[in-house]
């Protein structure tokens, strides 16, 4: 029992170093325990086996079954009904092919479900209990150790299956201390499963194979202007845009402002620390967001609509404080005109051919953010938010969505972006007033037509592999 206790302590200690070293330590410690327990059994030949997953044939080693069909929430749109019937069959084939390729980009042996099989009736999972099972890919590896001059028999040196036999526990433990694993196929992030066996006892442990990433860091500087860039998108609303800019300068004189502009007849916006990027006309909201954010050089950006207005309560520093204190956060929303809008996304993966079910539930959130009771975790927030630049750039805004888009960004980022909403920072909204010619034209573009909704649903059907969606 002393040996087993030592094993767990050692494994806890060695979780932080390299994965290769951790795997080797597991082999050494566990096998040492087994050999100490069974060393005095007469007539036993000490044997250790560490095959790769190609040799593994354990019953408990399984891939969780694919989920069955998901249940559409009441009021959901059945997306297949939005696809033209003459295109449906071919579209489904293309979607199935694309879905398989997408799954193949993130395979891992480490998603397999393993069960520890003890001598007692107890059975419990040791790995792979996840809600997002991945298709496993077998990565062959080789095992090596030093070859002693005498007293030991070794088979499989440099291969996928290594057998060590010895009547000397000292020699055997010395060799086990020098066993190493080397993957033979290059992959930037995958895994393998190794097993070791003594007599009728067999155990499996995971080996993660991951290419280390080069850090990409942002120099925060000493003031808010070196930490945050303000971004916005404008279209035919220069009067509102100028009110926004004047309000920004009332509180932040040197902060950089990036404007994406797809107006038909662009008006040049002048002023220090302002970048205006002219786009082809009427490219849409998400295309403009992508353009603006692509030019951000600071760690964070603050997204605002062009008809917002900064007030005494628009304290960017307070949002930065939360983001810096909780570095796992990617997006942090605030209030707009006193309203704190957030929502929760419920997603069921669904059956592979049909697709998943997605339900957006407005005004629902998770629990308060630890240390910040005025903030709560959610799936999505309002158009006023501070975001981590590199995280949002990885998800990006789909430029195919021109007029009906906001929740769709958080749908694409579900599982990738950690989102929260705070009530202690707010921004104002400019009051509606008499429209000029351009603003009246803007209204004709602002409200989506049925064709826009149909296109969005078709996009969800293919791109997001959904069976149905509900916006609640």
**Any residues with CB less than 8 A from the CB of 320 and at least 6 apart, and which?**
224, 227, 228, 300, 386
Question: pLDDT band at 128, cuts 50/70/90?
Answer: very low
The alpha helices in 81-215, defined as continuous H runs, are: 85-104, 169-176
**pLDDT at residue 156, rounded to an integer:** 80
Structure tokens at 265: 């007849």
pTM of the model: 0.76
Domains in the chain, start-ordered, CATH in brackets?
2-63+112-210 (no CATH), 224-471 (3.90.550.10)
If one compares 306 and 136, the residue with the highest pLDDT of the two is 306
**pLDDT at residue 206, rounded to an integer:** 73
If one compares 240 and 188, the residue with the highest pLDDT of the two is 240
Question: pLDDT band at 23, cuts 50/70/90?
Answer: very low
Provide φ and ψ at 105, rounded to 5°: -80, -15
If one compares 286 and 9, the residue with the highest pLDDT of the two is 286
C-alpha torsion angle, residues 37, 38, 39, 44 (rounded to 10): 180
Checking if the pLDDT of 314 tops 70, the result is yes
Candidates 191, 205, 194; CA nearest to 139 is 191
Mean pLDDT of the chain: 77
**pLDDT at residue 68, rounded to an integer:** 87
Range with the poorest average pLDDT among 110-119, 122-131, 141-150, 215-224: 122-131
pLDDT digits (tens, 9 = 90+) for 368-400: 999 999 999 999 999 999 999 999 999 999 999
Checking if the pLDDT of 31 tops 70, the result is no
Range with the poorest average pLDDT among 12-21, 49-58, 394-403: 12-21
Checking if the pLDDT of 34 tops 70, the result is no
**pLDDT at residue 53, rounded to an integer:** 35
Distance CA 391, CA 300 (A): 10
Provide φ and ψ at 79, rounded to 5°: -70, -30
319: Cα separation from own chain's centroid? 22
Q: Using a pLDDT cut of 70, give the percent of the chain over it.
A: 71
Distance CA 273, CA 255 (A): 7
H/E element holding 246?
helix 238-251
Question: pLDDT band at 281, cuts 50/70/90?
Answer: very high
**pLDDT at residue 367, rounded to an integer:** 94
Give me the half-sphere count of Cα atoms (radius 13 Å) on the Cβ side of residue 101.
7
Span 439-448, average pLDDT: 64
Range with the poorest average pLDDT among 121-135, 211-225, 390-404, 431-445: 121-135
């Amino acid at each position: 029992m002393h040996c087993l206790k030592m094993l767990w302590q050692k494994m806890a200690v060695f979780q932080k170093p390299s994965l290769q070293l951790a795997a080797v330590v597991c082999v050494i410690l566990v096998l040492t325990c087994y050999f100490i327990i069974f060393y005095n059994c007469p007539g036993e030949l000490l044997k250790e086996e560490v095959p790769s997953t190609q040799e593994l044939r354990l019953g408990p080693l399984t891939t969780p079954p694919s989920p069955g069909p998901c249940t559409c929430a009441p009021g959901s749109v059945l997306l297949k009904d939005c696809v033209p019937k003459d295109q449906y069959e071919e579209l489904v084939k293309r979607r199935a092919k694309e879905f398989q390729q997408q799954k193949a980009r993130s395979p891992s042996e480490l998603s397999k479900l393993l069960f520890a099989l003890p001598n007692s009736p107890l059975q419990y999972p040791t790995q792979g209990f996840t809600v997002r099972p991945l298709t496993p890919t077998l990565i062959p590896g080789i095992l090596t150790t030093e070859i002693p001059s005498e007293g030991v028999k070794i088979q499989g040196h440099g291969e996928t299956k290594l057998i060590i036999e010895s009547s000397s526990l000292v020699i055997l433990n010395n060799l086990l201390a020098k066993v190493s694993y080397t993957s033979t196929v290059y992959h930037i992030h995958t895994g393998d499963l190794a097993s070791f066996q003594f007599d009728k006892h067999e155990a499996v442990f995971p080996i993660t194979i991951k290419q280390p990433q080069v850090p990409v860091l942002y120099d925060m500087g000493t003031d808010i202007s070196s930490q945050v860039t303000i971004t916005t998108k404008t279209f035919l609303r220069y009067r509102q845009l100028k009110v926004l800019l004047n309000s920004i300068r009332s509180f932040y004189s040197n902060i950089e402002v990036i404007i994406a502009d797809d107006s038909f007849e662009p008006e040049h916006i002048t002023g220090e620390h302002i970048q205006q990027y002219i786009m082809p006309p009427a490219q849409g909201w998400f295309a403009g967001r992508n353009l603006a954010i692509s030019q951000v050089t600071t760690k964070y950006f603050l997204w605002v609509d062009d008809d917002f207005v900064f007030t005494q309560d628009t304290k960017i520093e307070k949002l930065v404080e939360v983001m810096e204190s909780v570095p796992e956060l990617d997006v942090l929303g605030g209030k707009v005109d006193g309203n704190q809008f957030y929502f929760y996304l419920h997603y069921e993966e669904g059956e592979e051919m049909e697709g998943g079910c997605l339900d957006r539930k407005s005004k629902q959130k998770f629990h308060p953010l630890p240390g910040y009771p005025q903030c709560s975790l959610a799936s999505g927030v309002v158009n006023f938010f501070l975001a981590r630049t590199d995280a949002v750039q990885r998800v990006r805004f789909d430029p195919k969505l021109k007029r009906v888009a906001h929740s769709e960004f958080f749908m694409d980022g579900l599982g990738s972006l950690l989102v929260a909403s705070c009530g202690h920072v707010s921004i104002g909204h400019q009051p509606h007033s008499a429209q000029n010619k351009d603003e009246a034209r803007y209204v004709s573009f602002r409200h989506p037509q049925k064709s826009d909704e149909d296109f969005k649903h078709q996009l969800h059907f293919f791109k997001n592999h959904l069976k149905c969606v509900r916006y609640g």
